[in-house]
């Protein structure tokens, strides 16, 4: 079987505008959740978010290009440029353009442009900007990456709410393994902090007013985040031949559907996805040292996810470090899994596990080792990253150290 490795990563989130700064902040457990800026605080019950701050679009794109880019596509491009630069790939050589795929997850696509169109439509003169469609469409981030690099292989978006990134990365893994491409740009992007979406999440009564406290007794719910992370995935021999630095082996992925409730998570569905990821990666449960949990900090996700991990790992569950970095970068929906893969890769490469920040007291319903508040040095040969979406759509990634 063809093996797949990761040779480039890029990210932008509330934690920072590149992957190293995002990782550093995750490891420090410094929460980037703060007073919301994109929406007037007085109309919100929970006026907090993990927003990308200090970001100047004109530092990255000229006016003409920017007119075609929703914030979500900008984030995808900024992180893709970092990832491609790190990989050292040149798409102009050896027909690589034809042998590269672009698969990007997003939950809601061009939400900012959609909100702007609605504002003009219902609140102003009823005229909508002619670039609205190309900015709003959920495949826009994937299109923009393909255009940026002249990549002519398969390119499309993957949509599965909060698991979009992981489903996208799993798809890219399989395309490289299957031989249809040698390289893929894959990950997720989200820019979801608009009046409409924050009010919609508020109406579901799942937002925390204070901060995000995964797995902890005082958790009150999730906090919205935004950003993107894009990875260069590459067939192992292809990467080895050109002497690329291998950040991690993308060993496997497991996917499942709960086929039950549209919102309530299922232990069985989550456990199935974890088991399938281990089997696909041919990893023994005992080899897993770190799990980046879905860990949304909702009352129901955290105990259900904890039980699913225990169901799969049995007694070994007690020896695994499990943390949710959503405490620091918020829940970036379709970009969540991609941002969290930065954490898992960081844990492999630095042999240090990022903590679950904002942790106060343990919840008796959540009985694993969540690495509260302080990073921990430990041996990590292989790691999992969980994503479980509304609708019961689950995707778990497995990575291991590059040899």
Partner 1 sequence: MTQTVEQQVFEIVARLGGIDIATITPESTLKDLGVDSLEAIEIIFDIEEHFGVTLPDRDPDFDNGSVQGLLNAVRQAIDAAATPKASAPSAA
Q: Does 360 bind partner 1 (CB under 8 A)?
A: no
Which of 43, 204, 284, 374 contacts partner 1 by CB under 8 A?
Answer: 204
Q: Taking contact as CB under 8 A, which single stretch among the options 53-61, 168-176, 204-212, 376-384 is the one that binds partner 1?
A: 204-212
Please, what is the angle between helix 111-118 and helix 195-203, to 10°?
100
Site for partner 1 in 211-230 (CB under 8 A): 220
Name residues whose C-beta falls within 8 Å of residue 67's C-beta, 6 or more positions apart in sequence.
131
In the complex with partner 1, which residue's Cβ is closer, 100 or 301?
301
Residues pairing with 42 in the sheet? none
User: Taking CB under 8 A as the rule, which mask of x and - marks residues 117-136 in contact with partner 1?
Assistant: --------------------
Nearest to 156 by CA among 105, 110, 103: 103
* Smallest gap from residue 263 Cβ to partner 1 (A): 6
**Catalytic residue check, 331:** yes
**Catalytic residue check, 162:** yes
Q: Does 203 bind partner 1 (CB under 8 A)?
A: yes
* Smallest gap from residue 363 Cβ to partner 1 (A): 15
User: Taking CB under 8 A as the rule, which mask of x and - marks residues 257-296 in contact with partner 1?
Assistant: ----xxxx--------------------------------
Residue pair 311/259 in contact by the 8 Å Cβ criterion: no
Nearest to 295 by CA among 385, 400, 210: 385
| Annotated catalytic residue within 17, 167, 294, 329 | 294
What span, in angstroms and rounded, lies between the C-alpha atoms of 174 and 188?
A: 17
In the complex with partner 1, which residue's Cβ is closer, 204 or 217?
204
* Smallest gap from residue 330 Cβ to partner 1 (A): 18
Q: Taking contact as CB under 8 A, which single stretch among the options 134-142, 166-174, 203-211, 378-386 is the one that binds partner 1?
A: 203-211
In the complex with partner 1, which residue's Cβ is closer, 209 or 286?
209
* Smallest gap from residue 152 Cβ to partner 1 (A): 44
| Annotated catalytic residue within 162, 192, 216, 366 | 162
* Smallest gap from residue 300 Cβ to partner 1 (A): 8
Site for partner 1 in 38-67 (CB under 8 A): 45
Residues pairing with 105 in the sheet? 158, 188
One-letter-per-residue 3-state SS of 271-283? HHHHHHHHHHHCC
* Smallest gap from residue 336 Cβ to partner 1 (A): 22
* Smallest gap from residue 360 Cβ to partner 1 (A): 17
Name residues whose C-beta falls within 8 Å of residue 20's C-beta, 6 or more positions apart in sequence.
none
Q: Does 205 bind partner 1 (CB under 8 A)?
A: yes
Name residues whose C-beta falls within 8 Å of residue 127's C-beta, 6 or more positions apart in sequence.
120, 121
| Annotated catalytic residue within 17, 238, 329, 331 | 331
What span, in angstroms and rounded, lies between the C-alpha atoms of 93 and 96?
A: 6
By residue count, the chain amounts to: 403
Q: Taking contact as CB under 8 A, which single stretch among the options 96-104, 199-207, 245-253, 270-278 is the one that binds partner 1?
A: 199-207
What span, in angstroms and rounded, lies between the C-alpha atoms of 121 and 126?
A: 4
In the complex with partner 1, which residue's Cβ is closer, 66 or 200?
200
What span, in angstroms and rounded, lies between the C-alpha atoms of 321 and 352?
A: 10
Residue pair 7/245 in contact by the 8 Å Cβ criterion: yes
How many residues at the interface with partner 1, by CB under 8 A? 10
**Catalytic residue check, 294:** yes
Alpha-carbon torsion, ordered 115, 121, 124, 129, to 10 deg: 80
Residue pair 244/236 in contact by the 8 Å Cβ criterion: no
Nearest to 295 by CA among 242, 366, 197: 366
Which of 209, 237, 318, 361 contacts partner 1 by CB under 8 A?
Answer: 209
Strands 288-292 and 382-389: parallel
Site for partner 1 in 294-353 (CB under 8 A): none
Nearest to 161 by CA among 135, 141, 188: 188
* Smallest gap from residue 299 Cβ to partner 1 (A): 8
Residues serving a catalytic function are 162, 294, 331
Residues in touch with partner 1 (CB under 8 A): 45, 203-205, 209, 220, 261-264
């Amino acid at each position: 079987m063809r093996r797949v490795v990761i040779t480039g990563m890029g990210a932008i989130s509330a934690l920072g505008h590149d992957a190293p700064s995002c990782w550093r902040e995750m490891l420090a457990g410094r929460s980037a959740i703060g007073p919301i800026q994109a929406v007037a605080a007085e109309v919100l019950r929970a006026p907090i978010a993990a927003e990308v701050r200090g970001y100047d679009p004109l530092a990255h794109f000229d006016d003409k290009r920017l007119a075609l880019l929703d914030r979500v596509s900008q984030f995808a491009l900024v992180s893709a440029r970092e990832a491609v630069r790190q990989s050292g790939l040149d798409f102009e050589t050896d027909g690589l353009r034809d042998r590269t795929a672009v698969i990007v997850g997003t939950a809601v696509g061009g939400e900012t442009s959609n909100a702007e169109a609605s504002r003009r439509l219902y609140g102003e003169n009823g005229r909508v900007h002619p670039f609205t469609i190309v900015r709003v469409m959920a495949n826009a981030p994937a299109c923009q990456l393909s255009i940026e690099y002249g990549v002519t292989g398969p390119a499309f978006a993957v949509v599965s709410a909060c698991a979009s990134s992981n489903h996208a990365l799993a798809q890219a893994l399989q395309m490289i393994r299957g031989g249809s491409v040698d390289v893929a740009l894959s990950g997720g992007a989200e820019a979801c902090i608009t009046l409409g979406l924050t009010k919609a999440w508020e109406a579901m009564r799942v937002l925390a007013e204070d901060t995000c406290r995964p797995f902890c007794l005082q958790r009150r719910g999730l906090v919205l985040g935004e950003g993107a992370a894009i990875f260069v995935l590459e067939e192992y021999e292809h990467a080895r031949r050109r002497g690329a630095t291998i950040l991690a082996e993308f060993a496997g992925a497991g996917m499942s559907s709960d086929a039950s409730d549209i919102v309530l998570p299922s232990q069985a569905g989550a456990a199935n996805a974890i088991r399938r990821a281990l089997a696909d990666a041919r990893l023994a449960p005992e080899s897993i040292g770190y799990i980046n949990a879905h860990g949304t900090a909702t009352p129901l996700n955290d105990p259900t996810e904890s039980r699913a991990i225990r169901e799969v790992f049995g007694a070994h569950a007690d020896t695994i470090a499990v943390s949710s970095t959503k405490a620091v970068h918020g829940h970036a929906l379709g970009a969540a899994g991609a941002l969290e893969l930065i954490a898992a890769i960081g844990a492999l490469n630095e042999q240090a596990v990022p903590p679950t920040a904002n942790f106060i007291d343990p919840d008796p319903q959540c009985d694993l080792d969540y690495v509260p508040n302080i990073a921990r040095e430990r041996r990590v040969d292989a790691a999992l990253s969980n994503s479980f979406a509304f609708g019961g759509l689950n995707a778990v990634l497995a990575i291991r150290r590059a040899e």
